[in-house]
Amino acid sequence: AQSVTQLGSHVSVSEGALVLLRCNYSSSVPPYLFWYVQYPNQGLQLLLKYTTGATLVKGINGFEAEFKKSETSFHLTKPSAHMSDAAEYFCAVSDPRGSGNTPLVFGKGTRLSVIA
Amino acid sequence: GAVVSQHPSWVICKSGTSVKIECRSLDFQATTMFWYRQFPKQSLMLMATSNEGSKATYEQGVEKDKFLINHASLTLSTLTVTSAHPEDSSFYICSARDHLAGWGETQYFGPGTRLLVL
């Protein structure tokens, strides 16, 4: 079974500082990997995803993530935090061997706070 | 981009009543839709997987008679909370997968429905 661990339920950074949100997964095969962002009282918006190919993935709003198979990690980064980045971030995985019915497996989420 | 809508966004109801939540894929067809429940400051909990034209598959511990799911078309799935009670109060989120994009592609999420049962 797959699982996702997000280290740190809450991360606080200063505006302009580097954002690093950690995600490690457990899977018998390299999974498909996703990062979603959720603003208060809203659904989830896809930030970026990795399926195959280049391991450094760039997403929206200046975020990027790198798939590291040896470390079973898919950490999310942004060079300079903006106040509007404050939100809940979820890492998710899916099994590439699955079917269209295979759901995402989510981590518990990391709440990002940005301090002015 | 792919858009998923949910209606209503907010609903307050009395205990014992039933509430229907709609999930629509607006610009793509979704063979599969997923229903999640989210408690405050927690992650999403998958409730069921909804397939167009067939019965939904419920996760363990989710009462299928209480949470009725119908996926009558490639663009619409509904979740009906029957005889709602205060403990059913939660944030319900649906997602849809674009079947033309291949199964491994993204799930697109609706904006969620906040249910408060008094």
Q: Is the backbone peptide bond immediately before A40 cis, with ω within 30 degrees of 0?
A: no
Q: Output DSSP code: residue B59.
A: P
Cβ distance A100 to B42 less than 8 Å, yes or no, reads no
Residue B33 one-letter amino acid: M
pLDDT of residue B20: 97
Averaged pLDDT for residues A21-26: 96
Q: Which stretches of chain B are assigned E, i.e. beta strand? A: 4-7, 10-13, 19-25, 30-38, 44-51, 57-58, 67-73, 76-81, 90-98, 107-109, 113-117
pLDDT in tens, chain B (118 residues): 688 999 999 999 999 999 999 999 998 888 889 999 998 888 889 999 998 888 899 999 999 999 999 988 989 999 999 999 999 999 999 999 876 766 556 788 999 999 999 9
Cβ distance B111 to A32 less than 8 Å, yes or no, reads no
Which residue of chain A is at minimal alpha-carbon distance from B97?
Answer: A100
Q: pLDDT, tens digit, for every residue of A60-73?
A: 999 999 999 999 99
Cβ distance A100 to B31 less than 8 Å, yes or no, reads yes
Q: Say which of A32, A43, A107 has its CB closest to residue B104.
A: A32
**Greatest Cα-to-Cα distance within chain A, rounded to the nearest angstrom:** 45
Residue B55's region, left for phi above 0, alpha for psi from -120 to 50, else beta, is beta
- Alpha-carbon gap, residue A35 to A38, rounded angstroms: 10
Residues of B with CB under 8 A from a CB of A: 4, 6, 31-32, 34, 41-44, 46, 49, 51, 57, 91, 93, 95, 97, 99, 103-112, 114
b/e B51-85 (16+ beta carbons within 10 angstroms → b):
bbeeebbbeeebeeeebbbebeebbbbbbebeebe
Residue A83 distance to chain B (closest CA, Å) = 20
Q: Say which of B106, B109, B112 has its CB closest to residue A41.
A: B112
